[in-house]
Amino acid sequence: MGHNTFLKRLFSLPLLGVVGVYFLIKAQLELNATPYFATRDAFELVILGMFLVFSQGWLSVRSGWQPLIVPEIPAGHLLNSGRWPLAVIGLGFCTLAAWRGIETEAVLGLVHAILWVVGLTLILLTVMPAPWIRYLVNCIRPQTSPETPQPIAFQTLIPFLKWCLALVGIWICLYIGWRADMRDVHAVRILERWFLGISLVMIGLVPTPAIVGWLRALWRSIRHDWTEWLLVVALFGVGMVVRIAWLESMPHIQAEDEAAFAIQAVDLVDFSKWRDNPFRYGVWHHPMVYHMTLVASIQTLGQTVFAARLPSAILGALTIPAVYLMARRMLNWRIGLVAAIFMITFPVHVHFSRISINQVGDPLFTALTFAFLTHALRTGDKMEFALAGLALGLSQYFYSAARIVPFIMLGYVLLYALFRPGWLRRYGSALVITLVVGGVVAFPVYYSVSQDEERPISPRLDHVAVFRTGDVELATARGDIQDYWEYQFAHAFGAYIHRFDESGFYGAHGSVMGWYGGVPLLIGAALCLRRWWDPRWLILPLWVAGTAILGGVLLVDPPHYPRYISVVPGLAVLVAIGVDYMVELAWGTVSSLGVGRWPLWHDRRLQIGAVLLPVLLIGQLNLVDYVASYAPKRIYYGERTVHLNEVAWHLQDIDLDRYNIYFLSGVEMNLSGSNLVRYQIGVRGEEFLGEPHEANAIPPGEYVFVAAPSRLEDLTQITQATPPGTLRVYNMQQEDKPLVYMYFVRIT
């Protein structure tokens, strides 16, 4: 055997990959054992392990992964011409029609229907070519010659009619964004018109053959690939069960932030009478579209914790098939299946799907944007470009971390243009559809924010951005700027594998990836970097790194897990790549020992089962960890929130319809100002502002005075000034200390 042949065979063995995986597992165990005091050796093992896996990238190249191939759908061309004065007048009539429809709150009244017809007719005349206008005139006026006008095929009018629909849809979305800011129109009517405008824009911009072809392809997929559709439905069903089981009591308390979202949804109905701007920033600077889903749930199921949390559970469960579609289109169905299974019990995502806060909307629409945009970039399908714009625009209506999504998508497109010569020339013009659809979808929220004179687009940046809080200047003045940035980077990127949450939303329990997802994540990242020339692979680690930088390094006190939720789909796909690689690594190693000669060894079902087995095991361990380890710790939020929940539970045990409630709040517990107390007892009660010794002067009726421990002296004066009643003391569940005092009295 020659020297070169020996080296070639030696390096063809998966030794580097095996050693790399071993180093990563060893490093993960060391980091799990000492999360707050990670040693330099552990980080060196991580770097060495990722380098070895990166070097062993030949296995991923030989694995035969092929992207899903969908037949290209024929696409038409948008045409444009016109007499713009008529267009302006026509759009004016359409604006008048939309205004009248909103003011009268009617679906379609006679007057504004006529206005719509006039406006659309003028717009049609704007874009209609001169020969067609002459033909119509000849059809109407008396004939002076025996010659009859030559008929024009109606099909030739369709592109111009669609162009009119697109213009009208854009105008409706712009008008709705402006009109909603006045906050005196029924919110549901606003959303109806907004959805109508978006639909018209998509129908108008996407050529009819592309729409028809997309629908036919969808129907063929349902008919021929029904088993795959059943699998996706089953994944959604299992994910839904995981997210709604014991939803009322797990997490064990309702956080103030949860209640703030829920109580604003209640106030939208009870106090605003639905007349509000659904696009404006509500509580904690978040758009109120998410609150509308809470309204629907609370109106249907009642004012309960379960009802407030149900929309998040549904959004979280829908993310599972979205991740499957994303990974299937970016890589292949096997990676998609593994990623979706991992998502079912991904601990951090499960947790945020079980609380009534809007972070869980980010990964859903981000995954859909990647899924649609990937297929569009590969095939040029204009319907997929439009759907990508729709998902991209909707992603801006949830948590502020989604502000990074447009930049990630821009980077994705630029990578395609860089690594796919000729792609931009063939499909670049279709990107206009994505930009226009995404723009009209996101316009209302950004317009509403721009009109907010009290708050900027990202109000919290002044409080959390390191360049606005003075942290960088302070570190520079102390002379430890290098240590400061090392701390920021270590904690921001360490969140994925060993750093605990610094916010109250999840608490100090495991990393973003949990206890079992770190190693596959690092392997997947290394393999994606190994395929740096393919945008579908390279964008995944760039997405993860960008989230850590913008959501961690550049913000104070990293890591805060709510800022990492938008990247969850990318993390799941990287885990799937890592799991698939480890299985193929083990499979190839065992095959080299002679097992590969067995016929059963090459059975496709056995190979698929070998890939699913580790991710099913990881999923089971994640679920057990969340249910049996995380939930019993009760580290979600702090002691004050626990006490307020206990007060609300005690109030629910009394007849709230019988008593009028007065609160005596203390410094340690603001009872009347607590959103969760208001929400859980049905928006009842008010702060007692009178003099305690004059309590007998309030109107006759049955009352319960609810006092914080620090207000016991005032409550004693109330008991002395009023007729004899019943004083009850409720202690804290975890300590034998007074939690709250309640005095029941009838005043005549």
- Tens-place pLDDT, residues 653-671: 999 889 999 999 998 899 9
- Residue 105 reports pLDDT greater than 80: no
User: Among positive and negative, which fits the CA dihedral 652, 658, 660, 664?
Assistant: negative
Residue 182 and residue 301 in one domain: no
Where does the pLDDT of residue 305 fall: very low under 50, low under 70, confident under 90, or very high at 90 and above?
very high
Q: Are residues 398 and 438 in the same domain?
A: yes
Mean pLDDT of the chain: 84
* Residue found under tokens 């914080």: 708
Least confident of 40-54, 366-380, 567-581: 40-54
CA 719, CA 725: separation in Å to the nearest integer? 7
Report if residue 339 sits inside a domain: yes
SS (H, E, C) 445-470: HHHHHHCCCCCCCCCCHHHHEHHHHC
**Residue 566 resides in a domain:** yes
**Inside any domain, residue 74:** no
Q: Is the pLDDT of residue 336 over 60?
A: yes
- Is-cis flag, bond preceding 559, omega within 30? yes
Overall average pLDDT of the 476-497 stretch: 93
Nearest to 738 by CA among 634, 668, 684, 690: 668
Confidence of residue 396 (pLDDT cuts 50, 70, 90): very high
Residues 328 and 237 in one domain: yes
455 vs 434, higher pLDDT: 434
Are 348 and 201 in a shared domain?
no
Q: What is the pLDDT of residues 711-727, one digit of tens each?
A: 999 999 999 999 999 99
Contact 502, 556 (CB under 8 A): no
Amino acid at 410: L
Query: Can you give the pLDDT at residue 6?
Result: 47
Please indicate, yes or no, whether residues 689 and 548 belong to a single structural domain of this protein. no
Same domain (yes/no): 628, 686 = no
Which strand (E) or helix (H) includes residue 729?
strand 726-731
DSSP letters spanning 677-709? HHHHTTS--EE--S-GGGGGGSPSEEEEEEE-G
In-domain check, residue 514: yes
Q: Are residues 570 and 482 in the same domain?
A: yes
Given 17, 37, 56, the domain boundary residue is 56
- CA 118 to chain CA centroid, Å, is 41
Over residues 189-239, the pLDDT tens digits come to 899 989 999 999 999 999 989 999 999 999 999 999 999 999 999 999 999
CA torsion sign for 561, 567, 569, 574 is negative
Q: Inform me whether the pLDDT recorded for 89 exceeds 90.
A: no
Distance CA 565, CA 746 (A): 51
Count CB atoms within 10 A of the CB of residue 495.
Answer: 25
Residue 60 has pLDDT above 50, yes or no: no
End-to-end Cα, the chain, rounded Å: 108
Q: What is the 3-state secondary structure (H, E, C) of 603-619?
A: CHHHHHHHHHHHHHHHH
Q: Residue 148: which residues within 8 A CB-CB, separation 6 or more?
A: none
Q: Which of 185, 205, 225 is the last residue of a domain?
A: 205
Residue 649 and residue 554 share a domain: no
pLDDT for residue 135 is more than 80: no
Same domain, residue pair 46 and 117? no
Lowest-pLDDT range of 248-252, 347-351, 386-390, 596-600? 596-600
pLDDT interval class at 73 (50, 70, 90) = very low
**Listed residue (312, 372, 324) closest to 572, CA to CA:** 324
User: Is there a domain that residue 689 lies in?
Assistant: yes
> Residue 190 belongs to what domain range?
84-142+152-205
CB atoms within 10 A of CB 469: 16
The pLDDT value recorded for residue 13 is 47
Q: Residue 381 corresponds to which tokens in the numbers above? A: 């399908």
Residue 339 CA to residue 342 CA, distance in Å, equals: 5
Into how many domains does the chain fold? 4
Same domain, 234 and 297: yes
Q: Are residues 565 and 472 in the same domain?
A: yes
Is residue 112 within 8 A of residue 148, CB to CB? The reply is no
**Residue 36 reports pLDDT greater than 70:** no
Q: Of 325, 331, 326, 324, which Cα lies nearest the Cα of 66?
A: 331
Cα torsion angle, 284, 289, 290, 292, sign: positive
d(CA 299, CA 537): 44
Min mean pLDDT across 32-41, 263-272, 330-339, 510-519 is at: 32-41
Pairing of strands 738-747, 701-707: antiparallel
425-453 pLDDT, tens digit per residue, is 888 889 999 999 999 999 999 998 888 77
- Tell me if residue 275 falls in helix, strand or coil: strand
Report if residue 77 sits inside a domain: no
Element of type H or E holding 560 = none
- Are 181 and 452 in contact by the 8 Å Cβ rule? The answer is no
Residues 728 and 623 in one domain: no
pLDDT number for residue 82: 39
| 62 assigned to some structural domain | no
Number of Cβ within 10 Å of residue 377's Cβ equals: 26
Predicted pLDDT at 38: 52
Whose CA is closest to 23, among 44, 43, 49? 49
- 535 against 29, higher pLDDT: 535
Among 575, 603, 633, the domain-final residue is: 633
- Yes or no: say if 170 and 343 are a contact pair by the CB < 8 Å rule: no
Q: How confident is the model at residue 171 (pLDDT cuts 50, 70, 90)?
A: confident
Q: How distant, in Å, are the alpha carbons of 243, 244, 518, 524 from that of 572?
A: 17, 21, 11, 10
Q: Is residue 119 part of a domain?
A: yes
